[in-house]
Amino acid sequence: MHIEGIRACVLNLGLKTMKTEDLINKLARDAKPTRTLSPLSSRLFLWVFVALVSIGIGVAIFGMRPDLTQKLGTSNFMLENAAILIIALCAAFGALVLSVPVGERKTRIKWLPAIGVVIWFGILVSKLFTSQIFHLDCGFSCIRDIALLGFIPGALLFYMVKKGASTHPGAAGFLAVLAATSFGSLGVQFLCKNDEAIHVLLWHLTPALLLGFIGYALSRPLLRW
Amino acid sequence: MDSERDRKFSIMMAQAQNGNQIIYEALLKEVAVVMSGYLRKRIYDHAFVEDVLQEILISLHKAKHTYKPESPFMPWLFAIAEFRLIDFLRKYTKIRNREVTGLEVEHSYDPAVDAKKEDLSEKMDAALSALTPKQKKVVELLKVQHFSVKEVASQLNMSESAVKVNAHRGYQSLRLKLGVEDDEN
């Protein structure tokens, strides 16, 4: 039975199982040379490298779209990919910034990926209005591929965030998964033949954003410290 | 003054990261003084200040590896403090909003009353051992694990009213053993 817990909750006495002075002595005795976290830039670089390699392998395994060479020459396709890359990099950067204790002002960084989202959304909406083709199809396989391709980068980034000590775990978890699913979406751009704006909007962009909430939900059990 | 203190703490923390236990102890003591003042302005119930302070010190210890000596120390420290304070306030509100009544918490700002509570704390173990196993279980589930009456009832295969009766008797017994009834009335 958690006697201290009962003491605190029932009698409002607090968890004074140890005097603060004794605790300080104990913590000081426990102090050993500490290896500090690597600089943010090197952690980000490592993550981007692993993410690119894993997405590359994933795309090779799932099979690239047949018209990829042709697509790589179109500015719209490249612009979309650049926007996705911006989302992924900004989200990963934000997750790593928030992986250590930071003040409230720095948490504004969580909005950074919005730049990429707005660009991608803008491209898709403009395509939607100019294109004559407009039919809804089912893209569950795209969601599956985003999740599969983003799994390794997501797990790695979550681990990197956990190695810190986040004072904003919800935002850090959301950004970590958003970064991974954005990379997943980038991979899906190389797999999925359907370039229609409505398809990309509904089955590539929206799931990438929504899956981020899984990171938010996971932050509570996984990023506690 | 503040920047001087920040620089001093920063240097001390860098030495603590290198394993200097004496400097680390001195740093923690100074941090405790700063944090104590910070918490007393924010926690209404001063009986909890010490607990939150200890939480902050433990968190600082756990997050030691995330501090970069070239960056300011105070924003890093206050980020941890705020995080733990919010955590505490959330838990505290949850406890205050429990649906089971019986042993309402009393807010005290009187050091004499606090000292009396300290004394009560020492008697707590003995008082708990006087409860029946069922009462103990009910009190634990309601007050430590924060389950609702309904959840406790289903877990222990009891009716809701039986849970309430057991909780009430448990609280009564605790009050009696600890002599806190007079404090509350």
Q: Is B57 on the interface with A (CB under 8 A)?
A: yes
For all residues of chain A together, what is the average pLDDT? Answer: 89
Find all residues with CB under 8 Å of B86, minimum gap 6, and list them. Answer: none
d(CA A64, CA A61): 8
Judging contacts by C-beta atoms under 8 Å, the chain A residues touching residue B95 are 9
Radius of gyration of chain A (CA): 22
* CB distance A115 to A86 below 8 Å: yes
Q: What is the dihedral of CA A44, A49, A50, A53, to 10 degrees?
A: 160
Q: Give pLDDT tens digits for A143-163.
A: 999 999 999 999 999 999 999
Q: Could you give the maximum distance between any two Cα atoms of chain A, in Å?
A: 74
Q: How many Cβ atoms from other residues are within 10 Å of residue B108's Cβ?
A: 16
Is pLDDT above 90 for A137? no
Lowest mean pLDDT segment, chosen from A183-187, B130-134, B181-185: B181-185
Model confidence band, residue B107 (pLDDT cutoffs 50, 70, 90):
very low
Q: Mind giving me the DSSP string for A32-88?
A: ----PPPPHHHHHHHHHHHHHHHHHHHHHHH---TTHHHHTT-HHHHHHHHHHHHHH
* Candidates B16, B45, B62; nearest CB to A225: B62
**pLDDT reported for residue B43:** 86
**What's the rounded mean pLDDT across residues B83-105?**
71
Find all residues with CB under 8 Å of B24, minimum gap 6, and list them. Answer: A27, A28, A31, B12, B15, B16
Q: Give pLDDT tens digits for B140-160.
A: 788 766 677 877 887 888 888
**What's the rounded mean pLDDT across residues A8-15?**
46
- How many C-alpha atoms does B100 have within 13 Å on its Cβ side? 32
The answer to whether the CB atoms of A24 and B32 lie below 8 A apart is yes
Percent of chain A past pLDDT 70, that is, above it, reads: 91
- How many C-alpha atoms does B170 have within 13 Å on its Cβ side? 27
The answer to whether the CB atoms of A9 and B22 lie below 8 A apart is no
Residue A193 φ then ψ, to 5°: -80, -20
Closest CA to A123 of A204, A197, A199: A197
Residue spans of the domains in chain B: they are: 1-98, 113-185
d(CA B145, CA B173): 20
Is pLDDT above 90 for A173? yes
Chain A: give the shortest CA distance to residue B183, in Å: 11
Helix axes B160-178, A3-11, angle to 10 degrees: 90
Q: Is B65 exposed, middle or buried (0-12, 13-18, 19+ CB in 10 A)?
A: middle
Judging contacts by C-beta atoms under 8 Å, the chain B residues touching residue A14 are 47-48, 50-51
Residue spans of the domains in chain A: they are: 1-31, 40-222
The answer to whether the CB atoms of B66 and A37 lie below 8 A apart is yes
In A, what residues contact B, Cβ < 8 A?
Answer: 1-3, 5-16, 18, 20, 23-25, 27-37, 99-104, 164-165, 167, 225
**pLDDT reported for residue A3:** 46
Q: Is B33 on the interface with A (CB under 8 A)?
A: no
Is pLDDT above 80 for A2? no
Polymer length of chain A: 225
Q: Is B13 exposed, middle or buried (0-12, 13-18, 19+ CB in 10 A)?
A: buried
Provide the whole-model pTM. 0.73
For all residues of chain B together, what is the average pLDDT? Answer: 80
d(CA B32, CA B34): 6
The domain made up of B1-98 has a fold known as Rna Polymerase Sigma Factor; Chain: A (1.10.1740)
Pick the CATH number of B113-185 from 3.40.50.300, 2.60.120.10, 1.10.10.10, 3.40.1190.20: 1.10.10.10
Higher-confidence residue of B88 and B154: namely: B88
**pLDDT reported for residue A14:** 42
Q: Give pLDDT tens digits for A24-79.
A: 999 999 888 999 999 999 999 999 999 999 999 999 999 999 999 999 989 989 99
Is pLDDT above 50 for B181? no
Q: What is the dihedral of CA A19, A25, A27, A30, to 10 degrees?
A: -140
The answer to whether the CB atoms of A16 and B50 lie below 8 A apart is yes
Q: Give pLDDT tens digits for A195-219.
A: 889 999 999 999 999 999 999 999 9
Q: What is the ipTM of this complex?
A: 0.82
Model confidence band, residue A115 (pLDDT cutoffs 50, 70, 90):
very high
Chain B: give the shortest CA distance to residue A96, in Å: 11
**pLDDT reported for residue B114:** 57
Q: What is the dihedral of CA A33, A34, A38, A40, to 10 degrees?
A: -140
Is pLDDT above 80 for A101? yes
Instruction: Please name the residue that has the structure tokens 């980068």.
Output: A153
Is pLDDT above 50 for B105? no
**pLDDT reported for residue B132:** 85
d(CA B90, CA B94): 6
d(CA A169, CA A158): 10
Judging contacts by C-beta atoms under 8 Å, the chain B residues touching residue A29 are 21
Judging contacts by C-beta atoms under 8 Å, the chain B residues touching residue A36 are 17, 65-68
d(CA A34, CA B65): 6
The answer to whether the CB atoms of A11 and B20 lie below 8 A apart is no
The answer to whether the CB atoms of B54 and A20 lie below 8 A apart is yes
